[in-house]
A and B are shown apart, each in its own frame.
Chain A
C-alpha cells in the first residue's frame, strides 16, 4: 500500500509538473524577453529599439504595448506589432507629449511568448531631442541671407508651442583648406555680413531650446557670394538720442545718392512667415541726401526694433544695410543712481545704491540690467578708488577711524553691446566712527572723569579749609566751647572772670544768729556762713555794693548744705 501511495504521489507530481518540465524535456526554446530596450525621440519620430536575447532562432517576432496614466489597461503600440527586426517606429501614435507614458515589449514565436520587458516611464517631451533645422540660403555680394525653418514637421506636435522659442547658432567658414570657423547666434531670418564677394562659404545651423536642449546640426550648405555691387549699402548705422528726438546717422563713401530708411519690430524675425511686407518706411528719412536724419521720439514705443538704410542713385539701388538693432529704452539717457552712505561700527562705510526716482519717461535703469561704477576717495587726499559692481549694497572695510570719505556712482549698461553710461551722482560724504579700542578707552575715560569729580571737590574743600585755618583764622571759639557757653548763667560767670566778684552782704539778724562778714580783700571766694533758716527768710537782702547786681543769697545756702 505504501508503495502504491508513493507511486500515486510521484505520478501526480509528474503530471502537475509536466507543463513546465515538458518543453525542457522536449528540448524547445524558452523565449527570453528582449534586452537593452531604448526609446529614441527626435522631433516627431518615435523609435523603439532593442536587442535579441537569444541567438538567431528564426521566426521570432516582437510586439509592444503602451499605457497612459489615466488608463490602467495596456494598449497595442501601433507600428510595433509583430516586428521581425529589432527596431520599430510608433510615431503615428498621438500621445500627449507632456504626459508620462509606459511601454513594454516581448518576444513571440508562434504561440509562445517571452515575459514582458518593461520600459521605465518617460515623458516624451523630456526625452525628445531636437533634430536638424532646415536652412535656405540666398547670396548677396558681401552677405548671405538665411532663412531657417524650425526642426520637425510643419504640423508636428513636439515643438508646436516652442517654434518661436528656438534660438539658432550658426557655424560658417570659407570653403578652403585652412578655414576659420565662425559661430554666431542668428535669428530664423537673418543675414551674415562681413563676407568677401565671389567666395564660397559653407555653413551649418543647429537649434537650441532653453533651458537645456541642444539640437543636432543641419547638413552643411555651401553657397557662393555674388559679384560686388556697384552701389554698396550704407554702413555703421547708429542712433543717438537728444532731448526729444533721435538722430539716425550712417556712413557712405559716395556722393550724389539719396537714402531711405525702414524699421521693423524685431519679434517678426521670430515668428514663422514672411516679414517682407512688415517693414515700415521712416517718413522723416525718405529720400534724404545727407547721411543722417532726425526722427521724433514718439515714433518708437517700448520694444526692440530693427532699422535699415538703403542708398539709391536714381538708376540702381543698393542692397539694404545691415540691420541695426535699436532699443529706444536704452538709447535714452541713463539716469544717475541714488547713493547713500552709512558708517558702521567697525570703522567701515556701507554704501547703498538705489535706482533713480521714476520720472515721467521711465528711465533705462528700470528695464535693463545695469552695473555701477563707484568712485570712493578720502576727502582730504583725493586718491580715488574705482570699482565696478552689480551689487547695490556694499561695504568698504578697514578704513581709517574718524576720517571723512566720499563716494559717487554712475550706472553703466551691463551688456557691453550698448555701452551706455549715466552721469555721476552727487557725491556723498560720511565720517567713519572711532575704532573699538579707542572707543572703550573713551568710555573708560569718561567714567573716570565722572567718578573723580566728587573726589577732587572733596580734596579741594579740605585744602581750602586748611588754608583758611592757617592764614585766616576765625575769631570764633571752637564750637564745643561755644555750646557750653550757650546757657545764660554760665555766660555771666565767664564774663566776670576778669573781675573778682566781690560782694558785700549784710545779714539782717533773725532768730538765728548771723555773723557779719567783712569786706574781704582776698581774691578768693567769699565764704559766709549762714544758718540755713535765715537764708530762707532773707529773700530781700540788700547789698551796699549793688554794682554787680547779683543776689548772693541764693548761692550761699547751697554752700552750707554742702
Chain B
C-alpha cells in the first residue's frame, strides 16, 4: 500500500514538472470566444462605407500570418498577444470623430483588455517554466504592420473614413487570429 502510494506521488511529481501548467485547450476555447465577441462588437460600429472607398490602403499584413505557416504553441501565444495588444492600442486612440457608440467601444476595449491580461499571465508562466526560443522576425513584421496602420491614422488626422478603413482591416485580422488559435489545439 505504501509502495503504491509513493509510486503515485512520484508519478504526480514527474508529470507536474514536465507538463506545462497551462491548459491549451481551455485557452483556445477562451480565445475563440473573445475573438468572436470582439468581431461582433466591431461589426456593431457603423462605417460610412461609400465615401471612404478612396481612402482604402494596403497595409500589407505579414505573410507569416496570412499563409498560415505552422507555429509552435508558445510562439502562437506570443503572436496572438501581440495582435490583441496592438488592436487595443489602436482603439484606445482618438475615436471622437467617428460618432461610434461609446459603450460599444468601451466593451470592445474591455474584452480586448480582459483577454490581454489573461494572455500576459500565461506568457509570464511560460517564461518562468520553459526556456523556449522564438523567431523575432514574425513579431517585428507584425509591429511594422501595425505601425503602418497607426501612421495612416495620424496622417489622415483620425478622420471618420480613416477609422472605417482601419475597422475593416482589424476585422480581417481577427479572421487570421482565429486561424492562429487553431495552432494551440495540436
Contact of A368 with B30 at beta-carbon distance under 8 Å, contacts A161-B146, A392-B25 already known: yes
B15 sits at the interface (CB 8 A):
yes
Tell whether, in the assembled complex, residue A210 and residue B30 are in contact, meaning their CB atoms are under 8 Å apart.
no
How many Å lie between the Cα of A387 and that of B86 in the bound state? 40
A385 sits at the interface (CB 8 A):
yes
Tell whether, in the assembled complex, residue B22 and residue A211 are in contact, meaning their CB atoms are under 8 Å apart.
no
Determine which of A123, A161, A271, A396 lies in contact with B86 in the assembled complex, contact meaning CB atoms within 8 Å: A161
Q: Which residue of chain A has its CB nearest to the CB of B110?
A: A303
Q: How far is the CB of B2 from chain A (nearest CB, A)?
A: 13
Tell whether, in the assembled complex, residue B21 and residue A161 are in contact, meaning their CB atoms are under 8 Å apart.
no
Residues of B within 8 A of A397 (CB): 11
Instruction: Scan residues 101-124 of chain B and give those whose CB is less than 8 A from a CB of chain A.
Output: 106-107, 109-114, 117-118, 120-124
How many Å lie between the Cα of A347 and that of B185 in the bound state? 30
Contact of A398 with B4 at beta-carbon distance under 8 Å, contacts A99-B144, A367-B30 already known: yes
Q: How far is the CB of A115 from chain B (nearest CB, A)?
A: 31
Contact of A162 with B27 at beta-carbon distance under 8 Å, contacts A391-B19, A398-B4 already known: no
Residues of B within 8 A of A403 (CB): none
Q: How far is the CB of A386 from chain B (nearest CB, A)?
A: 11
Tell whether, in the assembled complex, residue A387 and residue B111 are in contact, meaning their CB atoms are under 8 Å apart.
no
Q: Chain A CB within 10 Å — which of B22, B26, B88 has the most?
A: B26
How many Å lie between the Cα of A301 and that of B92 in the bound state? 19
How many Å lie between the Cα of A369 and that of B25 in the bound state? 10
Q: Which residue of chain A has its CB nearest to the CB of B1?
A: A383
Tell whether, in the assembled complex, residue A265 and residue B106 are in contact, meaning their CB atoms are under 8 Å apart.
yes
Tell whether, in the assembled complex, residue A355 and residue B143 are in contact, meaning their CB atoms are under 8 Å apart.
no
Instruction: Scan residues 310-327 of chain A and give those whose CB is less than 8 A from a CB of chain B.
Output: 327
Residues of B within 8 A of A415 (CB): 121
Determine which of A160, A304, A366, A368 lies in contact with B110 in the assembled complex, contact meaning CB atoms within 8 Å: A304
Tell whether, in the assembled complex, residue B26 and residue A369 are in contact, meaning their CB atoms are under 8 Å apart.
yes
Tell whether, in the assembled complex, residue B143 and residue A98 are in contact, meaning their CB atoms are under 8 Å apart.
yes
Residues of B within 8 A of A387 (CB): 12
A125 sits at the interface (CB 8 A):
yes
Tell whether, in the assembled complex, residue B117 and residue A125 are in contact, meaning their CB atoms are under 8 Å apart.
no
A533 sits at the interface (CB 8 A):
no
B43 sits at the interface (CB 8 A):
no
Tell whether, in the assembled complex, residue B110 and residue A301 are in contact, meaning their CB atoms are under 8 Å apart.
yes
Tell whether, in the assembled complex, residue A211 and residue B78 are in contact, meaning their CB atoms are under 8 Å apart.
yes
Q: How far is the CB of B158 from chain A (nearest CB, A)?
A: 15
Determine which of B113, B127, B136 lies in contact with A126 in the assembled complex, contact meaning CB atoms within 8 Å: B136
- Among the listed stretches A69-77, A163-171, A172-180, which one makes contact with chain B, having 4 or more residues with CB under 8 Å of it? A163-171
Q: How far is the CB of A413 from chain B (nearest CB, A)?
A: 12
Contact of A161 with B147 at beta-carbon distance under 8 Å, contacts A303-B113, A398-B4 already known: yes
How many Å lie between the Cα of A161 and that of B88 in the bound state? 10
Tell whether, in the assembled complex, residue A370 and residue B113 are in contact, meaning their CB atoms are under 8 Å apart.
no
Over the window 14-40 of chain B, the binary record of Cβ atoms lying under 8 Å from chain A Cβ atoms (1 yes, 0 no) is 011001011101110110010001000
Q: Which residue of chain B has its CB nearest to the CB of A367?
A: B30
Q: How far is the CB of A372 from chain B (nearest CB, A)?
A: 10
How many Å lie between the Cα of A167 and that of B16 in the bound state? 28
Over the window 113-137 of chain A, the binary record of Cβ atoms lying under 8 Å from chain B Cβ atoms (1 yes, 0 no) is 0000000000101100000000000
How many Å lie between the Cα of A111 and that of B42 in the bound state? 63
Q: How far is the CB of A323 from chain B (nearest CB, A)?
A: 15
Contact of A210 with B81 at beta-carbon distance under 8 Å, contacts A98-B143, A265-B106 already known: yes
Q: Chain B CB within 10 Å — which of A161, A212, A396, A398 has the most?
A: A161
A interface, over-half SS: loop
How many Å lie between the Cα of A365 and that of B26 in the bound state? 8
Q: Which residue of chain B has its CB nearest to the CB of A304?
A: B114
Q: How far is the CB of A101 from chain B (nearest CB, A)?
A: 13
B64 sits at the interface (CB 8 A):
no
Contact of A270 with B113 at beta-carbon distance under 8 Å, contacts A211-B127, A369-B22 already known: yes
B65 sits at the interface (CB 8 A):
no
How many Å lie between the Cα of A266 and that of B21 in the bound state? 26
Contact of A165 with B85 at beta-carbon distance under 8 Å, contacts A355-B26, A366-B29, A398-B7 already known: yes
A414 sits at the interface (CB 8 A):
yes
Residues of A within 8 A of B30 (CB): 366-368
B171 sits at the interface (CB 8 A):
no
Q: Which residue of chain B has its CB nearest to the CB of A278?
A: B106
A145 sits at the interface (CB 8 A):
no
Tell whether, in the assembled complex, residue A163 and residue B26 are in contact, meaning their CB atoms are under 8 Å apart.
no
Tell whether, in the assembled complex, residue A164 and residue B92 are in contact, meaning their CB atoms are under 8 Å apart.
yes
Instruction: Scan residues 157-177 of chain B and give those whose CB is less than 8 A from a CB of chain A.
Output: none
B53 sits at the interface (CB 8 A):
no
How many Å lie between the Cα of A266 and that of B86 in the bound state? 17
Residues of A within 8 A of B60 (CB): none
Tell whether, in the assembled complex, residue B37 and residue A302 are in contact, meaning their CB atoms are under 8 Å apart.
yes
Over the window 344-379 of chain A, the binary record of Cβ atoms lying under 8 Å from chain B Cβ atoms (1 yes, 0 no) is 000000000001000000100111111000000000
Tell whether, in the assembled complex, residue B81 and residue A355 are in contact, meaning their CB atoms are under 8 Å apart.
no
Residues of B within 8 A of A391 (CB): 15, 19, 23
Q: How far is the CB of B152 from chain A (nearest CB, A)?
A: 13
Chain B residues at the A interface, C-beta cutoff of 8 Å = 4, 7-8, 11-12, 15-16, 19, 21-23, 25-27, 29-30, 33, 37, 78, 81, 85-86, 88-89, 92, 106-107, 109-114, 117-118, 120-124, 127, 134, 136, 140-141, 143-144, 146-147, 150
Can you pick out 14 interface pairs between chain A and chain B where the beta carbons lie within 8 Å of each other?
Answer: A96-B144, A98-B147, A161-B86, A210-B124, A211-B123, A265-B109, A267-B112, A304-B114, A367-B30, A368-B118, A369-B26, A392-B23, A392-B25, A396-B8
